[in-house]
Chain A
Amino acid sequence: MSVNLSLGGPAQASVTEQGERATTGQGQDSGKPATSAAIAIRLTNVKRMFSGARGKFTAIENVSFEARQGEFLTVVGPSGCGKSTLLTLISGLSQPDQGTVEVLGKQVNGIQKDVGFIFQRDALLPWRTALQNVALPLRFRGKSKHEAEELARSWLARVGLKRFEASYPHQLSGGMRKRVSIAATLSYEPRVLLMDEPFSALDVETRTLMENDLLHLWDVNKPTVVFITHDLQEAIGLADRVLVMTASPGRILGDYRVDLMRPRELTELRFDEKFVAIQHSIWEHLRAEVLRAYEQQ
């Protein structure tokens, strides 16, 4: 698979300041400092319940945080802690039982045009080619067929799939299908991008390459990103800020700033001293929760 976007070369990451800090509970203060960038996402005391076989079940509760415009936020937490639930609430696919969710200054009460969502599982239309899959969101947004296909072509080229325009999803590898999904979502330039463990099904090498590519693509329009993962290294490597969630019912346990310089070269970053330090300090908090989640099973 061609990766035409990675810069190659030596690691460019360096650390300006050791800025990680934990705020227990709400993590409210992290978005507040003098930086006056507008708030893109704001959750206030959000609770989401499901009614299951044995009555009501609380998936997440007391979740509050903010993300500034252009910020790259990653969320880590043990499996089943409500990470996907969090994203469906921000996307408008579902509504909270308590609290409020605001995106780009408006309270969310349905699907929003300015929000993109990359699912963990494959969600491409199997009866459409890669090109058609990327062109469709543009068509839905009123672009002409010609215009949509031209744009779709350029986006497929940007994710390194120029040769696969006419391929159907089943003819592509898992990593390629993910690239098509990303191209389809980025092509309409959403201001908020939600990603639910997008690379978790990929092998390690492909994953690192795709993380690198994602950072470069993000750098172009700088959408606000909420990226879910259960891989701490991935979370730190990508993020401006890492949110750590507790085991079920999910709450925000910690909120860590990652002050590693951009652009970053992820293949090198993992050996960086500061990176390792941040990882250690977050892992201290996460470990207890992972064990707790494990015991719950």
Chain B
Amino acid sequence: MPEVVASNAERSRNITVLAWRIGLTVGFLAAWQYMGSKSDFWKLIVSSPQQVILKCFQWVQDPVWWGHVGTTLEEAILGYLLGVVVALVLVAILAPSPWISRFMSPFLAAMNALPKIALAPLFIFWFGTTLQSKVYFVASLISFIVLYGVLTGIRTIDPIMLANTRLHGASKWDLVLHVYIPAIITWLFSSLRLSWAWALLAAVVGEYLGSIKGLGFLIASAEQSLQADIVIAGILVVAIAAVAFDRLLVYVERPMNKWRAF
């Protein structure tokens, strides 16, 4: 039967892909380990997987290190939440009034195109090397990503679907509940996922530029004392936090996508 053949072929393709992934990872780690052990110079600039893992084990047992992680996560999460709330408030103001939306759209496009990560020094300048400076910086970035994503979602709503629902007797509030919100959910989640990666990045960059706590601070000071293992281990931790929350969002969104064809 053709279907069985197809699924067999698919399975063997999946296994091949998995084998390649493992092979590449092992090869990469081996090459890295080899580079790091070639000379003291190389050891200094690239460290080695062994050392990074050792560093991570050391850290896990060190409350001071957990303090740094906590600071970074706190900044990222607070900034993220603040940014999302600001974005949703702006959506609630902009979306119902086509006139304001049209008026604002070139400004929004310009601000969206801005390399906003370069604004980090300004926030340090305005709010000092405090927690707030990072939270506000993260929030400013996140609010734009989410605002832009959700407004795009609203623009893609089929006007016939809206007209049909109005003709069926929907009030303004019914429209929000039954058309607008379901229509933007996908856009909201994709911008939430995108912006979480940016939240972590922005928090670390903010710390890197000016702070006395957090993973960014650890990385900055390790850089000065030429400790590549700390820098790399720090990046690893950020990556794990990024992926973990991203998976959570995917998991939360999945049941909302039952109605989709693909």
Tell which of B161, B167, B179, B259 touches A111, judged by Cβ atoms closer than 8 Å. Answer: B167
Please give the distance in Å from A124's CB to the nearest CB on chain B.
Answer: 8
B166 touches A123 (CB 8 A): no
Tell which of A113, A127, A140, A184 touches B182, judged by Cβ atoms closer than 8 Å. Answer: A127
Given contacts A121-B160, A168-B258, contact A91 B168 (CB under 8 A): no
Residues of A within 8 A of B169 (CB): 113, 137, 140-141, 188
A184 touches B168 (CB 8 A): yes
A168 touches B259 (CB 8 A): yes
With A and B bound together, what is the CA distance between A188 and B163 in angstroms?
17
A91 touches B167 (CB 8 A): yes
Please give the distance in Å from B158's CB to the nearest CB on chain A.
Answer: 8
With A and B bound together, what is the CA distance between A127 and B180 in angstroms?
11
B164 touches A123 (CB 8 A): yes
Cβ of B102 < 8 Å from any Cβ of A? Answer: no
Tell which of B158, B168, B179, B182 touches A137, judged by Cβ atoms closer than 8 Å. Answer: B168
A117 touches B178 (CB 8 A): no
B179 touches A123 (CB 8 A): no
Tell which of B161, B168, B178, B260 touches A185, judged by Cβ atoms closer than 8 Å. Answer: B168
A129: nearest residue on chain B (CB-CB)?
B259
A125 touches B165 (CB 8 A): yes
Given contacts A125-B179, A137-B168, A185-B168, contact A170 B163 (CB under 8 A): no
Residues of B within 8 A of A141 (CB): 169
Q: Which residues of chain A in 156-180 are interfacial with respect to chain B, using CB atoms and an 8 Å cutoff?
A: 168-170
Q: Which residues of chain A in 94-143 are interfacial with respect to chain B, using CB atoms and an 8 Å cutoff?
A: 111, 113, 115-117, 119, 121-128, 136-137, 140-141
Cβ of A201 < 8 Å from any Cβ of B? Answer: no
A121: nearest residue on chain B (CB-CB)?
B160
Please give the distance in Å from B72's CB to the nearest CB on chain A.
Answer: 37
A169: nearest residue on chain B (CB-CB)?
B259
Cβ of B25 < 8 Å from any Cβ of A? Answer: no
Cβ of B8 < 8 Å from any Cβ of A? Answer: no
Please give the distance in Å from A108's CB to the nearest CB on chain B.
Answer: 13
Cβ of A93 < 8 Å from any Cβ of B? Answer: yes
B160 touches A136 (CB 8 A): no
Please give the distance in Å from A284's CB to the nearest CB on chain B.
Answer: 35
A93: nearest residue on chain B (CB-CB)?
B163
A123: nearest residue on chain B (CB-CB)?
B164
Residues of A within 8 A of B161 (CB): 123-125
Residues of B within 8 A of A119 (CB): 160, 163-164
Given contacts A123-B163, A125-B179, A125-B182, contact A140 B171 (CB under 8 A): yes
Residues of B within 8 A of A115 (CB): 167
6 contacts between A and B (CB under 8 A): A93-B163, A117-B163, A117-B167, A123-B165, A128-B178, A168-B258
Q: 7 smallest A-B Cβ distances: which pairs?
A: A123-B164, A140-B169, A137-B168, A170-B261, A127-B259, A127-B182, A168-B259
7 new A-B contacts at CB < 8 Å, known A119-B163, A123-B164, A125-B179: A91-B167, A113-B169, A122-B160, A123-B163, A125-B165, A140-B169, A184-B168
